[in-house]
């Protein structure tokens, strides 16, 4: 734990917690404009959150503590990831947690909490959403792990900060086959994990197509606000990981004001750019049939396997 | 005075005494003395193991005990580790058994055999000669068989499971017997030191034969593919505390055997041995968890998950052997430490899971997840226990498997292709297998916990379930404490794991060290499960405070569930375990090949009107179909051919005897 890490942790926390609703706002706005609508403005998710947080939570009859704790677990895991992962600075506030396996497992833990909450309601919707989400996570988690392992093999460490630092020092790696394969695999699973098109439509409430929304159908008021907020933060965290694993430039490596400012600016620009690309891409896509989704995910798993195999063959013993 | 000696001696004495006590005490008074005796056996085992791990060497020879080859025991760090694990599991199980055995399992035989089974499992890793080892191994197999068959009067399926178990465990025993005897034939006597000395100038062919034969035997005990078929049968049918003993302690001894023979007696070996071990482990891990993900029988699911976890352990053992054969001691140490740590972790969470499953079975009489649900209301402690175990098993923080799988992955990703193309191909595939296993384990245990314990009860038995007696809860509590400790501060067992792995591999320093943060020595890598958990807790507390501060302070309101306006939802509308796993089953359709069967009954008046539709689905074990059924068919065919020889005529049989003796005499004349 050093000064850079602590400052970075605080900055990342503030950026992700306060900025993630704006990211969602930007993405919705881009989509609205491309579809010829005026859009509600980029502040709308924040206004929604404020409204939801003022309302009381509703506990459906027959649900247990699992249902009530799940939003908390979801937000807590996401916030821990937001603090420790290398978004603004290469050093981490808690370096021994900034491990790839830990970060991926933390994000999975949040999903598991929501799935259990969905099952806890005992409705058909909850079970359906949980079942689908677990099918997706069962393929997404391995792909995430394997594709980032592909990057960590040549670094010799699974610490995310170390992976980012090593890419900074050796920029030629970005265009190696390992990186490209891993990047494609990661993009696919991030789309799946954050529930975007073509895997899940974040703005639908049709039972045949729902995944994420089906699990959280029973939430209302404050709890729903927390879940929505956490989804926005997870999206930011995933895009931030994607950006910094492959294009880490701009990230602060020293605790000077200029470097930190550049780090914040670079993170914001990269994440917003990726968000805009994602939402612009969504305009041209229709949702995939649910049972075609695993094919997509299996494909990305194979890509990540290729990436890790390539990394073993291309790696130089050090 | 040697504490290992004292501990082992006391364990033997108490074990035999409690078995005798079980035979003579009346039924009502039997459970407590046997339970206390078994706890003591376990505790003495833990004591002996802990002292041995701490560095006190021990060996004893009692030539007079068994004719011809005598008995000899020796406990080193590797044996000590397995003694501690077995003893620890036995303590929790014995406490639990006092309450659990009250209903139908308090018979004289079952109660007398339980402490003997624990004792046999303690003696196997302590054995220091082939004769002793095989006798203890057989004792373990026989006592466990008696325990598996304990409930044979209640269910027909128990006898089938028992037959599978008996045949497979004995075929495994035969393989080990032949393998070790081949080794003994090339050494001065059958003691382990003599075998070690003989192994240095053993021809490669003999060493290969010995390793492969013992590998077959030991993997069949550990439930590794393709010899796993007994495991998902015997575990569900055995009484739950016996399942816990078998799944958390007995299967480990297969791993012990591979490590003992491969690393210690044969002193390493060529690379292909360990590649074989690694590939078998990776296949078992993925196949086991896939079967578990499809299963809707709670205990069968746990049994399949044992295959998965033993597979992960074997991946670690195989990687350790691979690195050791390439001369990379550091990575070999990391890989073997990961494997041994996973053995300990698996023992802790599998004990907890099986004991919780037993508690559910005790309260509802059902293992079928499709008929459970809603147990959190009636059985809160069991629900917490199973939830904790499920978290530990699914490689999520803060769980135990999370730590050991992290360590395993560290060993794999650092294995750069220093030792050739084979490693460069196998390592990424192993990484992918471990990652896939982690993902599927999450789905499996969300299903087991979410469908079984949350939601609404799907049967009246589940709705009326009440919490189990205190002794059962205490047993589960012990296992839960072990799970939490191992998850948060794995450093408590690191010295033991370190000394066992350095002793086995002959390396200089332990591969993993650290108090709060686990630190790899020699390669980069650090993880702190404790800090992670603390960070999660701190953030949660701050979050609760912040929500209180900024959000409305209005009280929660209860409301009806959303039922689409169609009236109250019934439990029949809920997702079941089968429907929960259906999307996953579709994804892995080609691998698991489920069998579906639809029967449509029409009205007699019109074939256009459907009266009833019946849908059946089964996910058979595909490997079993392909491998076992042809063999069984062949044996049956042979049997019916051989029946022609046995006509029932005594003269004929005497004739067979006569011709056989003549043939043997002629053979002797020819070869002498």
> Where do runs of H (alpha helix) occur along B201-270?
204-222, 231-237, 240-245, 251-259
Q: Do B594 and B635 reside in the same domain of the chain?
A: no
**CB–CB contact A298 B587 (8 Å):** yes
Q: Do B142 and B225 reside in the same domain of the chain?
A: yes
Q: pLDDT for B482-494, tens place per residue?
A: 999 988 888 888 8
- Which of B449, B468, B501 is at the close of a domain? B501
Whether the predicted pLDDT of A318 surpasses 50 = no
Whether the predicted pLDDT of B658 surpasses 90 = yes
pLDDT value of position B346: 92
Q: Of the candidates B425, B331, B271, which has an alpha carbon nearest to the alpha carbon of residue A311?
A: B425
In a domain, B116, yes or no: yes
Selecting from B376, B427, B524 the residue whose C-beta is nearest the C-beta of A156 gives: B524
Mean pLDDT of A10-31: 91
Instruction: Find the range with the poorest average confidence among A142-156, B133-147, B345-359.
Output: A142-156
Q: Do B142 and B238 reside in the same domain of the chain?
A: yes
Chain A positions touching B456 (Cβ under 8 A) are 62, 122
pLDDT value of position A209: 63
Whether the predicted pLDDT of A74 surpasses 90 = yes
Q: Do B309 and B375 reside in the same domain of the chain?
A: yes
Helix or strand holding residue B187 (H, E):
none
Mean pLDDT of B374-395: 88
Q: Which residue of B has its CA nearest to A108?
A: B396
Q: Number of folded domains in chain A?
A: 1
In a domain, B171, yes or no: yes
Q: How far is CA B93 from the centre of its chain?
A: 15
Whether the predicted pLDDT of B416 surpasses 70 = no
A267 vs B154, higher pLDDT = A267
- A50 at interface of B, judged by CB pairs closer than 8 A: no
> Where do runs of H (alpha helix) occur along chain A?
3-34, 44-54, 65-84, 100-121, 124-155, 160-169, 177-193, 212-215, 221-246, 257-283, 293-314
Q: Do B237 and B291 reside in the same domain of the chain?
A: no
Q: Do B25 and B145 reside in the same domain of the chain?
A: yes
Q: Do B32 and B67 reside in the same domain of the chain?
A: yes
Q: Of the candidates B428, B354, B419, which has an alpha carbon nearest to the alpha carbon of residue B393?
A: B354
Full residue range of the structural domain in which residue A257 is found: 3-314
Selecting from B377, B523, B575 the residue whose C-beta is nearest the C-beta of A128 gives: B575
**CB–CB contact A123 B414 (8 Å):** no
Total beta-carbon pairs less than 8 A apart between chain A and chain B:
267
In a domain, B513, yes or no: no
Selecting from A62, A79, A221 the residue whose C-beta is nearest the C-beta of B539 gives: A79
Strand partners, B527: B518
How far apart CA B273 and CA B216 sit, in angstroms, is 12
| pLDDT bucket at B330, cuts 50 / 70 / 90 | confident
How far apart CA A282 and CA A27 sit, in angstroms, is 10
Which of 87-146 (A) contact B at CB < 8 A? Answer: 94-97, 99, 101-102, 105-106, 108-109, 112, 115-116, 119-128, 130-132, 134-135, 137-143, 145-146
Tell me the C-alpha to C-alpha distance, in Å, between residue A154 and each of A312, A318, B415.
8, 9, 10
Complex confidence, ipTM: 0.91
Chain B positions touching A222 (Cβ under 8 A) are 547, 551-552
B649 vs B481, higher pLDDT = B481
**CB–CB contact A131 B544 (8 Å):** no
| pLDDT bucket at A206, cuts 50 / 70 / 90 | low
Q: Do B280 and B144 reside in the same domain of the chain?
A: no
Tokens encoding B400: 């135990």
CA distance B379 to chain A (A): 13
Selecting from B377, B413, B552 the residue whose C-beta is nearest the C-beta of A149 gives: B413
In a domain, B156, yes or no: yes
pLDDT value of position B343: 93
| pLDDT bucket at B577, cuts 50 / 70 / 90 | confident
| pLDDT bucket at B363, cuts 50 / 70 / 90 | confident
- A314 at interface of B, judged by CB pairs closer than 8 A: no
Full residue range of the structural domain in which residue B636 is found: 627-671
Chain B positions touching A162 (Cβ under 8 A) are 524
Whether the predicted pLDDT of B370 surpasses 50 = yes
Whether the predicted pLDDT of B604 surpasses 90 = no
pLDDT value of position B107: 77
pLDDT value of position A207: 59
Q: Do B377 and B460 reside in the same domain of the chain?
A: yes
pLDDT value of position B665: 94
How far apart CA B497 and CA B510 sit, in angstroms, is 8
**CB–CB contact B556 A108 (8 Å):** no
CB B336 within 8 A of CB B501: yes
B298 vs A318, higher pLDDT = B298
In a domain, B610, yes or no: yes
Q: Do B631 and B600 reside in the same domain of the chain?
A: no
In a domain, B488, yes or no: yes
Chain B positions touching A141 (Cβ under 8 A) are 435, 438-439, 442
Share of chain A above pLDDT 90, in %: 22
Secondary structure class of B514 (helix, strand, coil): coil
Chain A positions touching B405 (Cβ under 8 A) are 101
Q: To 5 degrees, how large is the angle CA B150–CA B151–CA B155?
A: 150
Q: Which residue of B has its CA nearest to A207?
A: B564
CA distance B8 to chain A (A): 40
Q: Do B287 and B394 reside in the same domain of the chain?
A: yes
In a domain, B213, yes or no: no
Whether the predicted pLDDT of B310 surpasses 90 = yes
pTM: predicted TM-score of the whole model, two decimal places: 0.91
Helix or strand holding residue B602 (H, E):
strand B595-602
- Which of B501, B528, B558 is at the close of a domain? B501
Selecting from A53, A119, A152 the residue whose C-beta is nearest the C-beta of B551 gives: A53
Tokens encoding B464: 């009326």
Q: pLDDT for B498-556, tens place per residue?
A: 888 888 887 777 777 777 777 777 777 788 888 888 888 998 999 888 888 877 677 88
Q: Number of folded domains in chain B?
A: 4
C-beta contacts of A162-170 below 8 A and 24+ residues apart: A162/B524, A163/A100, A163/A245, A164/A86, A164/A90, A164/A244, A164/A245, A164/A248, A164/A251, A165/A90, A165/A253, A167/A245, A167/A246, A167/A248, A168/A90, A168/A248, A168/A249, A168/A251, A168/A253
Q: pLDDT for B4-45, tens place per residue?
A: 888 888 888 888 888 888 888 887 778 888 888 889 889 988
Chain A positions touching B438 (Cβ under 8 A) are 105, 141-142, 145
Q: Do B650 and B611 reside in the same domain of the chain?
A: no
CA distance A99 to chain B (A): 7
| pLDDT bucket at A234, cuts 50 / 70 / 90 | very high
pLDDT value of position B1: 60
Share of chain B above pLDDT 70, in %: 99
């Amino acid at each position: 734990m050093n000064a850079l890490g602590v400052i970075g942790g605080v900055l990342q926390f503030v950026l992700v917690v306060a900025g993630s609703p704006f990211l969602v706002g930007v993405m919705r706005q881009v989509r609205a404009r491309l579809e010829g609508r005026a859009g509600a403005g980029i502040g709308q998710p924040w206004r929604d959150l404020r409204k939801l947080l003022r309302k009381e939570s509703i506990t459906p009859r027959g649900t247990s503590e699992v249902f009530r704790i799940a939003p908390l677990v979801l937000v807590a895991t996401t916030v821990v990831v937001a603090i420790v992962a290398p978004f603004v600075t290469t050093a981490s506030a808690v370096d021994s947690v900034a491990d790839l396996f830990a970060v991926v497992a933390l994000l999975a833990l949040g999903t598991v909490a929501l799935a259990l909450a969905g099952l806890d309601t005992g409705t058909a919707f909850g079970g359906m959403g949980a079942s689908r989400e677990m099918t997706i996570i069962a393929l997404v988690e391995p792909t995430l792990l394997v594709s980032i392992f592909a990057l960590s093999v040549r670094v010799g460490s699974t610490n995310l900060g170390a992976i980012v630092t090593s890419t900074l020092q050796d920029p030629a790696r970005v265009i190696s086959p390992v990186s490209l394969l891993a990047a494609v695999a990661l993009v696919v699973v991030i789309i799946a994990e954050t529930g975007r098109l073509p895997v899940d439509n974040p703005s639908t409430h049709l039972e045949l197509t729902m995944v994420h929304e089906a699990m959280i159908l029973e939430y209302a008021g404050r709890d729903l606000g927390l879940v929505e907020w956490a989804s926005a933060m997870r999206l930011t965290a995933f895009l931030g990981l994607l950006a910094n694993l492959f294009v880490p430039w701009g990230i602060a490596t020293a605790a000077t004001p200029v470097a930190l400012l550049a780090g914040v600016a670079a993170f914001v620009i990269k994440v917003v750019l990726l968000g805009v690309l994602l939402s612009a891409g969504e305009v041209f896509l229709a949702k995939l049939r649910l049972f075609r989704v695993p094919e997509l995910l299996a494909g990305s798993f194979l890509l990540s396997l290729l990436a890790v195999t390539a990394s073993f063959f291309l790696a130089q013993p050090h | 005075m040697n504490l290992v000696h004292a501990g082992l001696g006391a364990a033997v004495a108490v074990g035999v005494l409690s078995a005798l006590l079980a035979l003579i005490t009346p039924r009502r008074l039997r459970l407590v003395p046997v339970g206390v005796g078994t706890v003591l056996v376990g505790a003495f085992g833990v004591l002996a193991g802990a002292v041995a791990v701490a560095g006190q060497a021990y060996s004893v020879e009692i030539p007079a005990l068994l004719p011809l080859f005598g008995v000899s025991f020796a406990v080193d760090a590797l044996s000590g580790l397995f003694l501690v694990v077995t003893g620890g599991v036995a303590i929790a199980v014995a406490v639990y058994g006092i309450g659990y055995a009250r209903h139908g399992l308090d018979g004289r035989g079952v109660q007398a055999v339980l402490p003997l089974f624990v004792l046999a499992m303690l003696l196997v890793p302590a054995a220091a000669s082939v004769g002793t080892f095989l006798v203890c191994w057989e004792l373990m197999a026989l006592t466990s068989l008696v325990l598996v068959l304990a409930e044979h009067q209640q269910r027909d399926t128990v006898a089938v499971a028992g037959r599978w178990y008996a045949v497979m465990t004995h075929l495994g025993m035969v393989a080990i017997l032949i393998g070790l005897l081949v080794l003994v034939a090339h050494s001065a006597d059958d003691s382990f030191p003599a075998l070690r000395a003989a192994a240095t100038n053993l021809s490669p062919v003999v060493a290969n034969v010995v390793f492969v034969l013992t590998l077959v035997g030991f993997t069949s005990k550990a439930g590794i593919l393709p010899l796993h078929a007994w495991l998902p049968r015997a575990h569900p049918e055995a009484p739950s505390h016996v399942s816990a003993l078998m799944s958390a302690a007995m299967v480990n001894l297969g791993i012990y055997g591979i490590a003992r023979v491969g690393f210690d007696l044969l002193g390493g070996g060529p690379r292909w041995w360990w590649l074989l071990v690694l590939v078998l482990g990776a296949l078992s891990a993925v196949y086991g968890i896939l079967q578990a993900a499809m299963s809707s029988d709670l205990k069968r699911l746990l049994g399949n998950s044992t295959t998965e976890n033993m597979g992960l352990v074997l991946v670690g053992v195989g990687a350790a052997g691979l690195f050791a054969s390439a001369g990379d001691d550091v990575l070999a140490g990391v890989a073997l430490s990961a494997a041994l740590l996973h053995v300990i972790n698996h023992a802790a969470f599998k004990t907890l899971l099986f004991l919780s499953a037993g508690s559910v079975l005790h309260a509802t009489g059902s293992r079928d997840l499709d008929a459970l649900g809603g147990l959190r209301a009636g059985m809160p402690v069991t629900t917490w226990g199973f939830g904790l175990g499920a978290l530990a098993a699914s490689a999520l923080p803060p769980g135990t498997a999370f730590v050991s799988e992290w360590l395993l992955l560290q060993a794999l990703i650092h294995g750069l292709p220093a030792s050739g193309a084979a490693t460069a191909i196998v390592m990424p595939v192993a990484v992918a297998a471990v990652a896939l296993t982690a993902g599927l384990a999450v789905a499996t245990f969300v299903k087991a916990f979410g469908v079984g314990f949350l939601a609404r009860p799907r049967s009246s038995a589940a709705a009326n379930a009440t919490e189990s007696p205190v002794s059962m809860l205490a047993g589960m509590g012990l296992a839960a404490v072990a799970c939490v400790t191992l998850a948060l501060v794995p450093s408590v067992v690191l010295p033991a794991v370190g000394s066992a792995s350095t002793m086995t591999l002959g390396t200089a320093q332990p591969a993993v060290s650290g108090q709060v943060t686990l630190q790899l020595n020699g390669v980069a890598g650090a993880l702190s499960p404790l800090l992670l958990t603390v960070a999660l807790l701190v953030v949660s507390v701050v979050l609760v405070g912040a929500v209180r501060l900024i959000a409305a302070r209005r009280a929660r309101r209860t409301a009806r569930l959303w039922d689409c306006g169609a009236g109250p939802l019934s439990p029949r509308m809920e997702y079941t375990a089968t429907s929960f796993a259906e999307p996953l089953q579709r994804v892995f359709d080609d691998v698991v090949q489920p069998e579906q069967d639809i029967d449509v009954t029409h009205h007699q008046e019109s074939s256009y009107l459907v009266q009833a539709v019946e849908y059946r689905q089964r996910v058979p074990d595909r490997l079993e179909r392909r491998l076992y059924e042809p063999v069984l068919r062949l044996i049956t065919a042979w049997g019916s051919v051989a029946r022609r020889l046995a006509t029932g005529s005594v003269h004929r049989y005497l004739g067979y005897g006569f011709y056989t003796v003549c043939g043997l005499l002629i053979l002797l004349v020819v070869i002498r």
